[in-house]
A and B are shown apart, each in its own frame.
Chain A
């Protein structure tokens, strides 16, 4: 056990699974260092933020290869490779680029098991960076996990810390269905204790990072850290919060969310994806429909505005949810009094 960054945890998960299973291969733009052609420096890059660095050197060109800048072709190739016996991990770089290969994911990989009567397996992982706060502008900053969550047949993982990332990525690689694994690009240098041994965290099982009596906060990915920060601050004022990290948006651990709301009676949802048809609206609908009687205050969503992610630093900061906004949402549901109290 030692402290590892989010980046190191992901690298270690890839390395250990490649050691364990020769069918695991990596493909993507610049993941090996720009040797798509004959030129280039061996293992120079490891992807744009260095996550796969060292793997080309260890496993060679047959298992770690750079692809042309054509998402449609290499994601399609990865889907085909998965359908025919390999376990590819394809890196999409920025998740914002999914538009050019959505058919391969949405209409092919996600549908194979169903269309072929349960006889086809597609053990594919697509890794991609998501999220604002990196000053990467509107075309490289979206949090598109709701888009994938919407598609039956895909599993969608949004890890919130280095420990979570390693265990969930190993689970993703061992899973026989296509998995979209989304890494918040602002978190790569976050550090925590991560076991050296391989381990896997099951999908569809939420993690409670805080337990309290007053308010349930459901948060996704990087937002879990902000929710913890807000919960710790609120705790000093005697407001105790449960913080739920669902880990996977598909499958979603709705049972844990409902149980916690039954206990606390108040719900705040934190989601950095665009506010229409996102995870916050999904969870709000779930709770409104199935735990309405438990609610003692309206559900509050802490989400960005419905705009492209701004490039200007001050505007980007204004755009993203943060601990202060979560804190004030929690205080508002605590302060809520029903207009028509029982006589």
Chain B
């Protein structure tokens, strides 16, 4: 009987996520749901995200109440067909809760791997590794002003059969604040050195925004290291860029001025949580952070335009490549994905801003997994 019952449990959105709060149920008890339908909103310390149903069925029970905070894996609700009796559901819940509390006691620490600090030349880079396996590793490169937490909804999904690496670029997050000349080529050289240091010869590169230009530079200078390119709202394919975002991100020094700037990043503005704003303010207060961002902006976006045109690098890249872009991107235009070779699939996501990997994590992950197979 239990195979007719699907537990809905607290998901793990990010490596650091240990608990989440149900902010709202979007489906009433007793209603029919489809797999992939957003059934609840779940808030972590970093983000509020829609939780998509793992299966189709009738939402027979809502165990978690709105406003309740529960550990990852805790039972939120139960899906089952109408034919399943209430008694069977009660028995299922009782067994789940008994098993869960004992599982919870033996929490696996490997799941909560902390970032490590890796020396690369004169720099120290903060690196988050996950997963193991024989498949070609995945490398995540974030964009301007970002850090490895930009991949919190993606890294786990790609770590089931392989090693994955996310890191903070120089000048960002917990890495050294020395950004060198601040060009994509300079960051690509650092990225290549990091791969050497980690003993990784070839990776599927997943890169976002300015990280896209860095990935293309990496593909140009070290093609043997790049097994594939998945470019999410990448820089380097056009000239225009929203300088209100770049300049606002640099100049904002308090929550009130930073929040409207961060709103450019997403279509659903409620995704910009208080914690996200505070984390960025805290990063910007670090000695050298502001100068690093200024150097990068000057090198990459002089006179309010993108300095580097890397379309030819993408067009001549020998391996598989794809582009993912939000149709409602307010920082870089999805029009930049036009007129590329037909061999490069472009996924345009409706009602999605500049950070599809956060806003449409499931769609992005599916595309990333497909290319990395």
Contact = CB atoms under 8 A, between A and B. Distances in A.
Contacts of A205: 254
A68 interface: no
B38 interface: no
Contact of A167 (B177, B254, B255, B285): B285
Contact of B255 (A195, A199, A202, A208): A208
Contacts of A1: 174
A200 interface: yes
A198 B286 contact: yes
Interface string B275-295: 000000010011110000000
A167 B286 CA distance: 9
B285 A201 contact: yes
Contacts of B288: 197
B280 to A, nearest CB: 13
Contacts of B287: 197-200
A211 interface: yes
Q: Per DSSP, are chain B's interface residues mostly helix, strand or loop, or mixed?
A: loop
A199 B274 contact: no
A157 B288 CA distance: 24
B19 interface: no
Contact of B286 (A197, A202, A208, A211): A197
Interface string A179-204: 00000000000000001011111100
Q: How many of chain A's residues touch chain B, expressed as a range?
A: 10 to 19
Nearest to A201: B285
B286 A199 contact: yes
Nearest to B285: A199
A211 B288 CA distance: 30
B179 to A, nearest CB: 15
B282 A199 contact: yes
A202 B254 CA distance: 10
A199 B283 CA distance: 9
Contacts of A211: 274
Nearest to B174: A1
B253 interface: yes
A208 B256 CA distance: 11
Contact of B282 (A195, A198, A202, A208): A195
B254 A200 contact: no
A200 B174 contact: no
B169 to A, nearest CB: 16
B274 A202 contact: no
A8 to B, nearest CB: 18
Nearest to A20: B287
Contacts of B255: 208
Interface string B249-281: 000011100000000000000000010000000
Nearest to B253: A202
Nearest to A197: B286
A195 B274 contact: no
Nearest to A167: B285
A88 B158 CA distance: 53
Contacts of B286: 195, 197-199
B96 to A, nearest CB: 26
A195 B281 CA distance: 13
Contacts of A197: 177, 286-288
A171 to B, nearest CB: 9
B274 A200 contact: no
Contacts of A195: 174, 282, 286
Interface string B100-143: 00000000000000000000000000000000000000000000
A179 to B, nearest CB: 18
A211 B274 CA distance: 9
A1 B254 CA distance: 21
Nearest to A200: B285
B22 to A, nearest CB: 15
Contacts of A201: 285
A198 B287 CA distance: 6
A106 to B, nearest CB: 31
Contacts of B174: 1, 195
A96 to B, nearest CB: 32
Interface of A: 1, 163, 167, 195, 197-202, 205, 208, 211
11 contacts: A1-B174, A195-B282, A197-B286, A197-B287, A198-B286, A198-B287, A199-B286, A199-B287, A200-B285, A201-B285, A208-B255
Given A197-B286, A208-B255, 18 more contacts: A1-B174, A163-B282, A167-B285, A195-B174, A195-B286, A197-B177, A197-B287, A197-B288, A199-B282, A199-B285, A199-B286, A199-B287, A200-B285, A200-B287, A201-B285, A202-B253, A205-B254, A211-B274
